[in-house]
A and B are shown apart, each in its own frame.
Chain A
Amino acid sequence: MVKIEAIIQTSRFEAVKEGLHQLGVEGMTVSEVRGHGRQKGHTESYRGREYSIDLIPKIKIEMVLPESLVDPAVQSIIQTARSGKIGDGKIFLSKVDEAIRIRNEERGAAAL
């Protein structure tokens, strides 16, 4: 089992979600986060005074998938989330030791 953590533009979320559902991904956790990459944000103006916005709102999607779904899911995310511009985001993969369904204590791939 592999955990996919994808940080994407907020405007791309609906498209990414649709793409994953069509693949058969059955569960995901979505949170609203803030962050920045190498560009460190931009400046705005309030009452004539400049201030920097160095934490930009993003959407983080987390899901744990069986090995077979990982590559298709990653490809789907890349295709639906990419705009070609700075700020598209990143995907991180990590191994998951165990997954358990709380309702009936199923374990492993059956719990996904």
Chain B
Amino acid sequence: MRSVSRAPMLAGMLLLCGLALGAEAPAPAAPQGSNASSLSGSTVVKDVATPTAEELAKGDPAGDKTGTATDVAVADPKAGLTLADLANQAGQNKIAINFTWTLIAGFLVMFMQAGFALVETGLCRAKNANHTMMMNFMVYGFGLFAYWVCGFAIQMGGVGGVANLGGTAPLSHEFTIHAFGKPWGLFGTSGFFLSGATYDVGVMAMFLFQMVFMDTALTIVTGSAAERWKFAAFAFCSLLMGAFTYPLFANWAWGGGWLSQLGVNFGLGHGYVDFAGSGVVHAVGGLTALAAAILIGPRIGKYNRDGTPNAMPGHDMVIVLAGCFILAFGWFGFNPGSTLGASGAGNLRIASVAVNTMLAGCTGSFGAILYMWIRYGKPDASMVGNGLLAGLVAITAPSGFVNTIGAAVIGLVAGVLVCLSCEYFERVAKVDDPVGAISVHGVNGLWGVTSVGLFADGTSNYGGGWNGVNGSVRGLFYGDPGQLIAQLIGVATLLGFVFSLSYAFNVLVDWLVGQRVSAETELEGLDIPEMGSLGYPEFVLKMQRTVPTASNETAPAYGAAPVVAPSFGAGD
């Protein structure tokens, strides 16, 4: 096995101390007045009892003979097992644990794509099932491609060394401007195509983990624009979002950019703090979803001439709730994985992060089910699913910093907030959002970001500091109002910059290929015109409940000619 890069340093010590072949173990005499004795790396470790070959040949059912000192990598077999070998192995093990943890957590988050696909498809009508699933399916490919080409470089090109992953030293180029006497990191510039020096195992682990988070943000947008979005427009929007929108804000928050340095530069708490991405992932996704939904306009038949909305029930609550379970499971990778490690630097707090995540999802569904039950008389399955997700979204930013009571409260508020927000967007703002993506991810993402500034309780210790500021992250309720201000600056950036940029990109794509399908396509269902085949070819699709008539036809926001009400039998 190979030695890590510390070997040259220790080899130098070897030379200085002289060859230690057969030397005894104890420490050389310490200088007068010092209380610490130092051991030489070349010191050979002797008399370590290990099982003999005969014992091992008999088999080891209890497992207590497997994994011993004989498994430690020895740099020089002639010298034998030295302290240098032990030190190297310990370091390698810590990094290996962190790699394993980060990668497996990343795999869990990748599986959330299936959850999003099922939730969105179940909340849409059956005639659009193929198209909705395809958007959620291909967002994985489009996003990954855009991120590999340039998104990752923009986001993490200048993040510097991430100790948990053994350094990621090649990610060391950040484009920075200087204003008001402070450095403002804007975007990274190393890591395009993961080539050159960024062809590095630590960078690879970081890339995989960050990519699946980026894809989570992208897949949110397909929810609010579903049932009327051209597939080509979706493809272009995903590429732009994965290449530019998401990576820019993520650089500012996680890549060492200016938002994360608000603490170092201006004394505002620990700068903008976002443990796993309520802001970076969910608010970015939700606000882009809002921009898309506003530009594209409501579905035909959603709003009557007098502005009252019509219910358009989803076609399969079974897959909606199954999808919510998949998302809740994947969130165990999303939040706890964001330590990027399970060994050292306060990483054992992953246990607390995981419990916070569970709790907030649970109280989120509670809040939603109580609200719907009391207000409307029956618990509504789709809103309860949204409530679970809202709780998970809201706890994403604070999960590493709060106690279980804080987590439960954050989730409960999120559960009620998502119901109120859905009502607001549907009835007041008149933005048609088939799956509630804007409310679950946008509104509750912003709530999650804010709640860090309130509930972070100062007991976490991730290697002594966060974002370059020593000490533990603390919110308003635990004595640090500056943290709340930093969080609110993040909220303002999301609303002001991210929403505006997304809207601009959407206008660009609209100019390039057109965002919305024609009215005939929308009424027939997108499956055949856009995808060429039905999602459910063997089932006779039900007639729509809301058939546009003279009283409820709405002209789409732009594009197609006004709808002529089809005859009653020409259904789906």
Contacts and interface: CB of A to CB of B under 8 A. Distances in A.
Interface stretch (B82-90, B307-315, B388-396, B512-520): B307-315
B422 A48 contact: yes
A55 interface: yes
B376 interface: yes
Contact of B372 (A48, A53, A55): A48
Given A51-B313, A51-B545, A55-B543, A46 B375 contact: no
B313 A48 contact: no
Interface string A37-78: 000000001111111010100000000000000000000000
B128 interface: no
A55 B542 CA distance: 11
Contacts of A46: 311-313, 380, 382
A45 B380 CA distance: 8
Contacts of A55: 543
Contacts of A34: 543
B431 to A, nearest CB: 14
B543 to A, nearest CB: 7
A24 to B, nearest CB: 33
B545 A48 contact: no
B224 to A, nearest CB: 14
Contacts of B543: 34, 55
Interface string B372-392: 100111101011000000000
A48 B312 CA distance: 11
A7 to B, nearest CB: 18
B429 to A, nearest CB: 15
B119 interface: no
A47 B302 CA distance: 13
A48 B310 contact: no
A34 B474 CA distance: 60
A46 B272 CA distance: 38
Given A50-B311, A51-B310, A51-B311, A45 B377 contact: yes
A50 B378 CA distance: 12
Contacts of A53: 545
A64 B423 CA distance: 53
Contacts of B419: 48
A47 B422 contact: yes
Contacts of B546: 51
B227 interface: no
B426 interface: yes
Contacts of B383: 47-48
A48 B382 contact: no
Nearest to A50: B311
Interface string B417-455: 001001100100000000010000000000000000000
B223 to A, nearest CB: 14
Nearest to A32: B540
A25 to B, nearest CB: 27
Nearest to B436: A47
Q: Output the residue of A34, A47, A49, A50 with the most chain B CB within 10 A.
A: A47
B382 A49 contact: no
A53 B422 CA distance: 23
Contacts of B377: 45
Interface in B281-327: 309-313
Interface in A2-41: 34
Contacts of A48: 372, 375-376, 380, 383, 419, 422-423
A47 B380 contact: yes
A6 B314 CA distance: 32
B127 to A, nearest CB: 17
A53 B383 CA distance: 20
B424 to A, nearest CB: 11
Contacts of B309: 49
A2 B58 CA distance: 86
B480 to A, nearest CB: 38
A59 to B, nearest CB: 16
Nearest to A52: B545
B148 to A, nearest CB: 38
Nearest to B308: A49
B382 A47 contact: yes
Contacts of B426: 47, 49
A45 B378 contact: yes
A33 to B, nearest CB: 12
B375 A49 contact: no
21 contacts: A34-B543, A45-B378, A45-B380, A46-B311, A46-B312, A46-B313, A46-B382, A47-B382, A47-B422, A48-B375, A48-B419, A48-B422, A49-B310, A49-B426, A50-B311, A51-B310, A51-B311, A51-B313, A51-B545, A51-B546, A53-B545
- Closest 6 A-B residue pairs measured CB to CB? A51-B311, A46-B311, A49-B311, A46-B313, A45-B376, A47-B383
Interface of B: 309-313, 372, 375-378, 380, 382-383, 419, 422-423, 426, 436, 543, 545-546
Given A48-B419, A49-B426, A50-B311, 12 more contacts: A45-B378, A46-B312, A46-B380, A46-B382, A48-B372, A48-B380, A48-B422, A49-B309, A51-B545, A51-B546, A53-B545, A55-B543
